[in-house]
Amino acid sequence: MPIPLPNLDDRTYADLVAEARALIPHMQPEWTNHNPSDPGVALIELLAWLTEMALYQVNVITNQHKEAFLELLNGPDWALGDQDLDTAVHKTILALRDQYRAATAADFEYLARQKWPDAAQAQRVYCLPRRNLAAADPTAEAPGHVSLIVIPQPALTEGQTAELLAGLWRFLNERRLLTVRHHVVPPTYVPVQVVADIYIREDAAPATALATAAAALTAYYDPLTGGPAHDGWPFGRGIFSSEIYAILNIIDLVDHVEAVQLIGPDNIPDPVAVTLQRHELVAIDAAGLTAVDIYGNRY
């Protein structure tokens, strides 16, 4: 529903004449003849008539006014051309409603996913505010900075990936706030090796059980389709041995799992968890899995 236009001045001819006559005793007391036959009153009525026409024009928005506003909104290079004025107004309103400026982390992600011409070349985009991931210490608080992490398509070469990230930086540079410094970086993967004893069922082949277990872990921690919601492993979410137990124990070929250990970048086994920074993803290594059959043989 359109917003009704306000009446900028609703005074009529009679209002203007009455207002002027009311000022005569105060401003010119010796003027006592206020009849229409008086030349002064005739002049007041003439000026009231002209003023009423001017006030009417104040409330009228002409096509020239609309074109001027459209040029103001669309830029100096805009021209009506052959299109209908109402069509031009409709297109301009739609363009104004379309998101252009990036003010929040969600805005950066939306523009990169929906408005960036090369969005199809990126598999996943994640924005981290108050971080400069291009700095020497990416974990430090960086007010005024925002970093966008892009997982590119695997078919891209290193040079193509660098050009892709540079293109996204240029695209966002026109849309960021003036005081914001933005950075576009590739993801950081933290290698985590899973060590566990998988006791397999009597009818299970050790090689098949190990392959199935490794595939299950890889799928669960996949950066694109893993995680509890299957929309990609969350950035910065740690790895917990309790989840490893849960993933491996539901495999049909597995009887039970024991001695789960997690080995992070420090190469120190941890039976509980490996924590990640807010910008990091996990790269699971299942080479430490061991299959144990009912006879105690280890594979």
Chain center to CA of 281: 21
pLDDT at 8: 66
Sign of CA dihedral 53, 59, 62, 66: positive
pTM of the model: 0.71
13 band by pLDDT with thresholds 50, 70 and 90:
confident
Instruction: List, for residues 72-124, the tens digit of each pLDDT value.
Output: 888 888 888 888 888 888 888 888 888 888 999 999 999 999 999 999 999 99
At residue 191, does pLDDT exceed 80? yes
pLDDT at 1 over 60: no
Q: Note the pLDDT tens digit of each residue in 220-247.
A: 999 999 998 899 999 999 999 999 999 9
In this predicted structure, the answer to whether residue 58 has a pLDDT above a threshold of 80 is no
Residue 2: per-residue pLDDT: 63
- Beta strands 280-292 and 188-200 are parallel
Q: What is the mean pLDDT of the chain?
A: 90
Q: Does domain 105-185 have CATH number 3.30.70?
A: yes
CA distances 124 to 6, 35, 148, 280, 296, Å, are: 48, 83, 10, 14, 44
CB–CB of 154/144 below 8 Å?
Answer: no
Instruction: Give the residue extent of every domain in the chain.
Output: 13-97, 105-185, 188-292
Q: At what angle do helices 85-97 and 63-74 cross, to 10 degrees?
A: 30
